[in-house]
Amino acid sequence: MTRPWATPTSPSPSASSEDALKNTKTPSSDQNNPDAADTALISIIAEVSRDSSNSQCYESPVPSNPESLQRLGPIAEHLLPTTMSCRDAFDSAFYCTSLGGAFTHLYRYGTVRSCNEHWNKFWFCMRTRTYGDTAKQAAIKEYYRTVENSKYGKRGTSSEDIWRSRDELLDPGMAFRGDGQEWTGSDEEWRMAVLDVRKKIREVGSTPE
């Protein structure tokens, strides 16, 4: 006897839905994957390597007229890097375009920065992978020379207008060494001398012209 309030047994749709959800990988899991940057970098390197292997022409990064370049001081030229990490450049560009990097810059400076400089550095580093050792070092050195000139070469004045740039490194222990005589008095005498100097400064400042 069939009761009117009884319902026929049938497969529960919720069970099949749960099984389907278990077997389905959500797209958000890839976005939260910490290895997403590594996967993107590997794919980019593979693509660039494939393109460089297909093309046999290698453009020299050294400019045709090196004398037209604005060179730095002797010590600054010596300290210019000759190596560049493509992984570090990619991580910097990837973080710049991420939500965390944009929020950090917006919080500190109140504006949203452009990441073109970071991506240009990364693609420049990828192009230098096809150069020889000598050409690669020259290109990287020229890149950092251009960066230094863009930061400090466009201003109307420079610290070298007041301070003469050193042409050679100082010996150990010679930096920040004063030319005056060493103080031989006591601490109390030093304190009284400082107070006397301050008193004279106040007297000169309060004297009417």
In a domain, residue 201? The reply is no
**pTM strictly above 0.85:** no
Q: How far does Cα 88 stand from its chain's mean position?
A: 9
Burial (0-12, 13-18, 19+ Cβ within 10 Å), 92: middle
In a domain, residue 199? The reply is no
How is 72-87 classified by DSSP, letter by letter? --HHHHHTS-----HH
In a domain, residue 66? The reply is no
Q: For residue 106, which amino acid is it?
A: L
In a domain, residue 178? The reply is no
Q: ∠ CA 171-177-179 to the nearest 5 degrees?
A: 120
Q: How far does Cα 200 stand from its chain's mean position?
A: 49
Other Cβ atoms less than 10 A from the Cβ of 33: the count is 11
Domain span holding position 113: 86-151
Q: How many Å apart are CA 147 and CA 117, to the nearest integer?
A: 10
List pLDDT tens digits, range 17-49: 445 434 444 444 444 455 666 676 667 666 655
- Identify the H or E element spanning 71: none
Radius of gyration of the chain (CA): 33
In a domain, residue 171? The reply is no
Query: How many residues appear in the chain?
Result: 209
List pLDDT tens digits, range 139-184: 999 999 888 888 776 666 666 666 777 777 777 777 766 666 677 8
In a domain, residue 41? The reply is no
Beta strands in the chain (DSSP E): none
Look at the chain and report how many structural domains it folds into. 1
In a domain, residue 132? The reply is yes
pLDDT at 94 over 80: yes
| Mean pLDDT, the chain, integer | 72
Residues 6+ apart with CB under 8 A from 166: 75
In a domain, residue 115? The reply is yes
